[in-house]
Structure 1
Amino acid sequence: MVRNPLIVSKKFTGVYHKVLLDGDVSFCINYKENGKVKWVTIGKKSEGINEAFCHQQRIDIINKSKFGEQAPIIKNKAKKKSSLFDDMAKEYIDNQDLKPRTAYLYKNYLNYLSSFIGDKSLSEIDADEVKKIKATLKKNEKSNATINAHIAFIRAVFNYATKNEKHKGVSPCENVDLLSIDNNRERYLSVDEVKQLKQAVKSDAMLSLFIELSLSTGGRVETILSIAKKDINFIQRTITLTNHKAKRTYTGFISDSLLALLQKRCNAIKDPNELIIKLHSKSKDKPFQAMSIRIKNIMNELFNSGLSSRDAKNRVVIHTIRHTFASHLAINGTPIFTIMKLLDHSDIKHTLRYAKLAEDSGLTHIKGLF
Structure 2
Amino acid sequence: MVKTAKTGVYYNLLEDGDKVFYFSYNDINDNKKKKWVKVGKYSDGIREINAFNLRAEQLSKMLHGEDITVIATKKKKEIVTFDDLAQTYFKDMNSTTGRKSRYNIHIKDIIGNKDIHKITKETIAILLKDVEATGKANQTLKSIKELISTIYNHSIKKHDLEIVNPCIAVKSYKVDNDRQRYLSLAEIKHLKEVMKDNFLVSLFIDLSLQTGGRFETILHIQKKDINLASGTVTLKNLKTKSTYTGHPQKEFLESIKEYLQNLNINDYVVSFEDAHDTKLTQRQIQHRIKPLLDRLFNKGLDTKDAKNRAVIHTFRHTFASHLAINGVPIFTIKELMNHAKIEQTIRYAKLSPENGKNAVQGLYR
Q: Which residue of structure 1 lines up, in the alignment, with residue 170 of structure 2? A: 176
Match among 255, 260, 265 for residue 266 of structure 1? 260
1:96 aligns with 2:92: yes
Q: Distance in 2 between matches of 1:145 and 1:272?
A: 37
Structure 2 counterpart of 1:191: 185
Q: Classify 1:117/1:327 alpha carbon distance in 2 versus 1 (closer, same or farther; 3 Å).
A: same
Contact 1:142 1:309 in 2 (8 A): no
Alpha-carbon separation, structure 2, partners of 1:32 and 1:259: 77
Kindly tell me: are residues 253 and 358 of structure 1, through their superposed partners in 2, closer, same or farther at Cα, counting changes over 3 Å?
same
Amino acid at match of 2:181: R
| Mapped partners of 1:62, 1:346: distance in 2 | 50
Q: What CA distance in whole angstroms lies between the structure 1 residues aligned with 2:86 and 2:199?
A: 36
Superposed CA deviations along residues 47-87 of structure 1, whole A, max 9, x for unmatched, are xxxxxxxx96756449999xxxxxxxxxxx897664554x4
C-alpha distance 295-14 of structure 1, shift in aligned 2 (>3 A): farther
- Distance, in Å, in 2 between the alignment partners of 1:147 and 1:252 is 32
1:261 CA drift (Å):
2.9
Query: Which letter does structure 2 place at the counterpart of 1:91?
Result: Q
2:274 aligned with 1:278? no
- Structure 1 residues 144 and 233, CA, compared in 2 at 3 Å: closer, same or farther? same
Greater CA drift, 201-210 or 237-246: 237-246
How many residue pairs are counted as aligned between the two chains? Answer: 314
Name the structure 2 match of 1:334.
328
- 5+ residue gaps, structure 1, are 1-12, 16-28, 41-54, 66-76
CA distance in 1, matches of 2:277, 2:143: 25
Contact 2:221/2:268, CA 8 A, preserved across alignment: yes
Per-residue CA distance 1:246-293 (angstroms, 9 max, x = gap):
444433223265244322322333x34433222364993554443345
Give me the whole-angstrom Cα distance separating, in 2, the residues matched to 1:282 and 1:232.
Answer: 15
| 1:169 to 1:198, Cα distance in 2 relative to 1, 3 A | same
> In the alignment, is the contact (CA less than 8 A) between 1:82 and 1:123 conserved in 2?
no
Asked if 1:314 corresponds to 2:308, the answer is yes
Among 198, 204, 226, the residue aligned to 1:232: 226
Q: Distance in 2 between matches of 1:158 and 1:362?
A: 47
1:337: how far off?
3.0
CA–CA distance in structure 1, aligned partners of residues 292 and 196 of structure 2: 12
Over 3 Å counting, the alpha-carbon distance change for 1:364 and 1:304 in structure 2 is closer
Counterparts of 2:348 and 2:150, CA distance in 1: 34
Q: Which amino acid aligns with 1:92?
A: T
> Is 2:256 aligned against 1:251?
no
Counterpart residue number, 2:58: none
Tell me if the contact between 1:83 and 1:122 (Cα under 8 Å) persists in the aligned partners.
Answer: yes
Q: Which AA in structure 2 matches 1:195?
A: K
Identity %: 36
Q: CA deviation at 1:356?
A: 0.5
Distance 2:356 2:173 in 1: 39
Q: What's the counterpart of residue 3 of structure 1?
A: none
Question: Which residue in 2 is equivalent to 1:106?
Answer: 100
Inter-partner Cα distance in structure 2 for 1:95 and 1:246: 16
Q: Aligned residue for 2:142?
A: 148
Provide, for residues 136-161 of structure 1, a one-character-per-residue CA deviation record: whole Å limited to 9, x for no partner: 22233322232122123333445567
Gap change, CA 1:199 and 1:93, over 3 Å in 2: farther
Distance in 2 of aligned mates of 1:347 and 1:163 = 25
Q: Distance in 1 between matches of 2:238 and 2:249?
A: 23
Unmatched tracts of structure 2, length 5 or more: 14-18, 22-35, 48-72
Deviation string, structure 1 residues 66-114 (Cα, Å, up to 9, x no partner): xxxxxxxxxxx897664554x43553355322242xx432332222234
Q: Secondary structure at the match of 1:239?
A: strand
- Larger mean Cα displacement after TM superposition, 334-343 or 354-363: 354-363
